[in-house]
Structure 1
Amino acid sequence: MINRFTLLDSHSASAESAKILDGVQAAWGFVPNLHRVLAESPAALEAYAALWTIAEKTGLTAQERNVAYLAIIYENECSYCMAGHTNLSRMAKVDDATITAIRDDQPIADARLQALRSFAAKLTRQRGVMNEADVSAFKAAGFDNRAVLDLLVLAATKLISNYANHLARTPNDAFMKGAEWTAPGKLKAA
């Protein structure tokens, strides 16, 4: 039990959650601890799984989605997701220099990806309250209104996972070894 959350599996979860966990197992070959935590609420697990699938349908490329996810995760200071998405980003062919820059809060060399990273970070940090100059700068880098709205899907996906991981103190999965990350520590419990 982690912070009073249990890592459930398809045998200990409700029938609704077990079905989703079995699908994750079939698709990924294992069930991440995040899903095992979320399984206590079939609705939360289903929402996360659905948003993850919907995020794949955005107009952003796999590399762009991963850069945005890392930027959102950085702002939300989720060590679990940063470790996981570091390796998922590598699988999506995001170069190590870009991944390291985001993890270390340094600029990305690629101007378009830096614009994406900056906008996704500010969107998260400002909770969607953006000024016209922010949106114009993002669009000037080659993005459009669809990309602006698509980032909301990614932010919603990470809201569920990042917040759940904070609450449960979800332990890293084996595939995250070597990608561990310590959050800057700007966010503190009240």
Structure 2
Amino acid sequence: SKQEQETIKLLVSEIAGCDYCVAAHTMLGKMTGLSRDAMKQIRKFEPTGDAKRDALVRFVRLLQQTSGTILQSEFDAIKAAGYTDQQIVEISLAIAVTTFTNVFNRINDTTVDFPAAD
């Protein structure tokens, strides 16, 4: 879903420390219906009260921390949360694309032209 995509992009951008992308994905997250509180919780790695979203946050954070080398139990956990093999491929693609934009914006020191995330 659009909310899941923005959850991934916001989280990856937070981990990378890309202020531009955090601001952009906070604004885009709002447009998908993610609440301000949920986005703050995502950025702080805190539970949002949505079990599937929280499983996604845990999985994405784990992938970022391990460069994708995870235990079978972690793979099983994301599947148990309701994600399909195709969605796991899409999660991986979203991480890769967001990582690219984070690096690009950090190299260029892109001016944040979105409202800053709080």
Same fold, judged at TM 0.5 (above):
yes
Quick one: higher RCO (CA 8 Å, sep 6+), 1 or 2?
Answer: 2
Residue type matched to 1:75 in 2?
A: I
Larger CA deviation: 82-91 vs 162-171: 162-171
TM-score (norm: length of structure 1): 0.59
- Contact in 2 for aligned 1:71/1:118 (Cα 8 Å): no
- Contact in 2 for aligned 1:63/1:92 (Cα 8 Å): yes
Higher helix share: 2
Distance in 1 (alpha carbons) for counterparts of 2:84 and 2:90: 10
Distance in 2 (alpha carbons) for counterparts of 1:72 and 1:125: 11
Which of these two proteins has the greater Rg computed from alpha carbons?
A: 1
TM-score (norm: length of structure 2): 0.91
Aligned to 1:48: none
Number of residue pairs the alignment of both structures matches: 118
Aligned to 1:104: 44
Larger CA deviation: 120-129 vs 133-142: 120-129
| CA shift digits 1:70-111 (9 cap, x unpaired) | 121122221110011000000011122211112233222111
The 4+ residue runs of structure 1 with deviation greater than 6 A are none
Structure 2 unaligned spans of 5+? none
Aligned to 1:12: none
Of all paired residues, the percent bearing the same amino acid is: 27
| 2:85 aligned with 1:145 | yes
- Contact in 2 for aligned 1:75/1:125 (Cα 8 Å): no
